[in-house]
Structure 1
């Protein structure tokens, strides 16, 4: 399993527009990716390609999340997803 942490840069947090952009990108990947707040148990992670699940996390601006996948060849995919989270989509 590989992991990548990211800090939410959108001023509204991981809500409507940023969640939609992120979920669409995650859904286009072959790897299954989950997302959760840093420090939360694995079972609290949600599917990264589900906009509703992303919004249910209630992640706010400046919070740190962790992306995980069991696909050891998907490190570049996690980097791309992290860049989406680390971009302010409200600017």
Structure 2
């Protein structure tokens, strides 16, 4: 299972708007058969397709988040979103 560590880029962390954007993309990937998960290192992963579960991570700007899944391209796509400032 591929795992990427990425630093949260959004100014408000993984809060409502960034979590919704990430979850929407992860849901598209899940429909294509590729589940993606997010986790604070050392904690249990949550489904990236759920904005609510993403927000439970409590990840702030600059925090490291692990992105994992069953497909390299899917993991990279979600990791790229986590790293962006999605509040702009």
The normalised TM-score by structure 1 is 0.87
- For residues 4-33 of structure 1, the C-alpha deviation after alignment (integer angstroms, 9 at most, x for no partner) is 111100000000000000000001112111
Residue from 57, 60, 78 that aligns with 2:75: 78
Q: Name the CA distance, whole Å, in 2 between partners of 1:52 and 1:78.
A: 19
TM superposition outliers: structure 1 runs of 4+ over 2 Å: none
Structure 1 unaligned blocks of 5 or more: none
Distance 1:48 1:5 in 2: 14
Structure 2 length as normaliser, TM-score? Answer: 0.90
